[in-house]
Amino acid sequence: MAIFEKKLRGIANTIKDDFIKKYVLEYFLEKIAELTPHSNQNNKRFYSKKTKSLESTKKYFKESQSLTGVELKEFSLLYLVINKLDLLQANIHLIENIKLFTEFNKKIFEKIVEKLKSGSQITIQDLNLDIQLTEKINKFAPIKHILKNQSEDDQKIIELLEDISRDLMNYDLEFRIQELESKFSVDMSESTFNELKELKKKQNLN
């Protein structure tokens, strides 16, 4: 089991995003804890459970590999908003200008923000979210592990939201910088260069 844990840590360390790395690793460590025997090892029922849990962990890892870092970050944002509707409705200014990148997640987020802006008390049921999407968010949002321990601390939740917002802003800056670098390599214009310089300055500030 120690060897298995060591291998998982090695895999997690290949993830560049520290935020995602931390919570993906925590998910796997929780699964390892579930595999730890609490009864006689000769008990066949334990081996059946162990095999099933291991296959479930492998399936989760395989599915999570197909998701990009920005998708996982968006899932964390959506998970936080869905589970803290009252708090976010009272602090709508914290989320109304956040930019998402994945088309489907973007539409869902805009729908949620619009409903929160209505002023009416909103429940998860009122959002009419696709069940499969909700399941995916609940399954893959890295933030769920820390939110579970901070669910009653509004200030901590706002800090988490600000972290996610800042990370998404940095994704946006990186994307725009790459576009401008490509453009500058073609037109070599001073205006493009100045715009690129300003974006890099913002990136350094974040």
Question: Domain tally for the chain?
Answer: 2
- Alpha helix segments (H runs only) across 101-153: 103-117, 124-127, 131-140, 144-150
The model carries a pTM of 0.61
Q: Residue ranges of the chain with pLDDT lower than 50? A: 39-51
- For residues 34 and 82, state if they share a domain: no
Distance CA 5, CA 64 (A): 18
Distance CA 201, CA 193 (A): 12
- For residues 73 and 147, state if they share a domain: yes
> Do the beta carbons of residue 24 and residue 12 sit within 8 Å?
yes
Reported as a single tens digit per residue, the pLDDT across 93-104 is 999 999 998 888
List the domain range (segments joined by +) for residue 24: 2-65
- The answer as to whether 82 is a domain residue is yes
